[in-house]
Amino acid sequence: MAKKKTELSEDKKIPEHVAIIMDGNGRWAKKRFLPRSAGHSAGSRTVEQICDDAWSLGIKYLTVYAFSTENWKRPESEVATLMDLLRKYMKNCLERSRKNNMRVRVIGDITRLDEDLRESIKELTHESSANTGLCFTVALNYGGRDEIVRAVRKILEDRDTGKITAADISEDVISGYLDTSDMPDPDLVIRTSGEIRLSNFLPWQSAYSELYFTDVLWPDFDKKELIKAIEWYNGRDRRYGG
């Protein structure tokens, strides 16, 4: 049997920013005759492991899609399960960020989340802000179109107060109004579970990202799969139109 590959060869180019659409928790559970909530729990354990794996491979920024602006359309009970899991996750994440030195941030419109969850996000973001390890970003109630709508509102507010004029608008200025303003664009976007779409994840930022799709369901995604994605990335020729 071939040995599992758990390290990358030295000559490989490591993407600075990897963004992941963590999909397939429901199907993972279904295959095992388990409730969807079991798939979401398993998926949240995968996130924890992948943060450490990403850092050990030399990735500096990891962004994960945890809950989309469209996910509110799911049955109320599933939304409640996901929110409870996120609550637990944020608490755990605070502990972990103390141990592994990662800086944690949240993108998306968190104003729609319950107050206690917003508070733990604030605490986590604040407490980990000076950490120098992996820059880990969780997209929570995130939608790329919603992000652009919120950015346009802020731009117009700044125009009202005279901070900005129409002539000032450039791609960089717009980037600066997005939730991701202080991060590089993702080099590699990974989506698990076989769907070939972005589902409103980082549409502005991924304009020139390499897109990797795998049939592996998110709870089964591991370091070996991440290495496969990076190896695939190394075969890409990024031309940026040149």
Q: Does 67 bind ligand IPE (CB under 6 A)?
A: yes
Instruction: Tell me which of 50, 62, 66, 183 binds ligand IPE, using CB under 6 A.
Output: 66
Q: Does 187 bind Mg ion (CB under 5 A)?
A: no
210's contact among Mg ion, ligand IPE, none, with CB below 5 to 8 A by partner kind, is: none
71's contact among ligand IPE, Mg ion, none, with CB below 5 to 8 A by partner kind, is: ligand IPE
**Directed axis angle between helix 76-100 and helix 36-57, to 10°?**
30
In the numeric block, which tokens belong to residue 45? 């354990």
The Cα 41–Cα 33 span in angstroms is 15
The DSSP 8-state label assigned to residue 164 in this structure reads -
Is 23 annotated in the active site?
A: yes
Q: Does 23 bind Mg ion (CB under 5 A)?
A: yes
| Number of residue whose CB is nearest ligand IPE | 26
Instruction: Tell me which of 22, 188, 202, 230 binds ligand IPE, using CB under 6 A.
Output: 22
Nearer to ligand IPE, 155 or 201 (CB): 201
Contact 134, 55 (CB under 8 A): yes
Q: Does 216 bind Mg ion (CB under 5 A)?
A: no
Contact 108, 69 (CB under 8 A): yes
Is 109 annotated in the active site?
A: no
Choosing from 11, 52, 71, 200, which is the catalytic residue?
Answer: 71
Quick one: CA dihedral 44, 97, 119, 184, positive or negative? negative
Q: Strand 103-107 relative to strand 135-142: parallel, antiparallel, unpaired? A: parallel
Looking up tokens 């388990």 gives: 34
Residues with a known catalytic role: 23, 71
- State the residues that interact with Mg ion by CB under 5 A: 23
